């Protein structure tokens, strides 16, 4: 059971380049999310999905696109990278849909992205 | 506006002593709180949670206290161990079972042997 897998672990881009950060989970979780972690800012939600075909914006969605064609995969796309997108990106998944249950998020190991 | 605040960026504690990590929040609608631990080069992992209907939750060496009137929660680790050295994030949500949490900025705990 691999949990949440993120690829690549490291990436360096030039300003204006595009790329996709991959995220896959094998726990059959409905909910998946993308966060970015910056010094002094904690974890900020970029986009999230409550199931295949359904996505929505989080706190800091600008410059990022997502899609959810399967339950397992939730890729994050940077269409035109900017230096402000230099960060560590975490993907997370969770299973609970009932308000009475703890919704624990399981995180991947992260992708460290530098935009020059 | 930071709705969840961890005002201590770092904390050092001797092995065997108590570690107390604090978290303050501003949104009175938050009613579910979690603590995550993060080691370098790894993703955060869930540690312990508490609902607003409780004021205390224990799990082994870890206890979380919630003071709703003060909008304050704290994580106590007793006794502290070197393996507890990590960054600790608190997170808050308006209801359990949701997928949207607001995270604090984290506190780096160092337990000295």
Q: What is the pLDDT of residue B88?
A: 97
Residue A103 has pLDDT above 90, yes or no: no
Smallest Cα–Cα separation from A108: which of A22, A19, A13? A22
Which band of pLDDT confidence, cut at 50, 70 and 90, is reported for residue A107?
Answer: very high
Spatial strand order of the sheet with B56-59 comes to: B4-5, B19-25, B72-77, B62-67, B56-59
Residue A8 has pLDDT above 90, yes or no: yes
Out of A42, A43, A103, name the one closest to residue B98 (CB).
A103
Q: What is the pLDDT of residue B31?
A: 85
Determine the average pLDDT of the residues in A16-26.
97
Q: What is the pLDDT of residue A105?
A: 86
B-contacting residues in A 55-114 (Cβ below 8 Å): 58, 90, 92, 94, 96-110
Q: Which residue of B has its CA nearest to A111?
A: B41
Chain B residues inside the 8 Å CB shell of A3: none
Pick left, alpha or beta for residue A101 (phi over 0 → left; psi -120 to 50 → alpha; otherwise beta). beta
Ordered mean pLDDT values, 10 residues apiece, chain B (113 residues): 89 97 94 93 93 93 96 97 97 73 94 95
Determine the average pLDDT of the residues in A68-78.
96
Out of B34, B97, B105, name the one closest to residue A42 (CB).
B105
What sign does the dihedral B101-B103-B7-B39 (CA atoms) show? positive
């Amino acid at each position: 059971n691999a949990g949440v897998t993120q690829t690549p672990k490291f990436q360096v881009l030039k300003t204006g380049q595009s790329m996709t950060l991959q995220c896959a989970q094998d726990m059959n979780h409905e909910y998946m999310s993308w966060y970015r972690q910056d010094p002094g800012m904690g974890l900020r939600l970029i986009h999230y999905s409550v199931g295949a075909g359904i996505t929505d914006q989080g706190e800091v969605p600008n410059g990022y696109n997502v899609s959810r064609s399967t339950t397992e995969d939730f890729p994050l796309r940077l269409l035109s990278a900017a230096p402000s997108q230099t960060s560590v990106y975490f993907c997370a998944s969770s299973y609970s849909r009932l308000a009475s249950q703890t919704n624990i998020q399981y995180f991947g190991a992260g992708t460290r992205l530098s935009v020059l | 506006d930071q709705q969840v605040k961890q005002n201590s960026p770092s904390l050092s504690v001797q092995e065997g002593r108590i570690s107390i990590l604090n978290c303050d929040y501003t949104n009175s609608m938050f009613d579910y709180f979690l603590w995550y631990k993060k080691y370098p080069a790894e993703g955060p992992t869930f540690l312990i949670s508490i609902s607003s209907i409780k004021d205390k939750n224990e799990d082994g060496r870890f206890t979380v206290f919630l003071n709703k009137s003060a909008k304050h929660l704290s994580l106590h680790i007793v006794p502290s161990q070197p393996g507890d050295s990590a960054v600790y994030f608190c997170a808050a949500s308006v209801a359990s079972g949701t997928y949207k949490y607001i995270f604090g900025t984290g506190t780096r705990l160092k337990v000295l042997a």
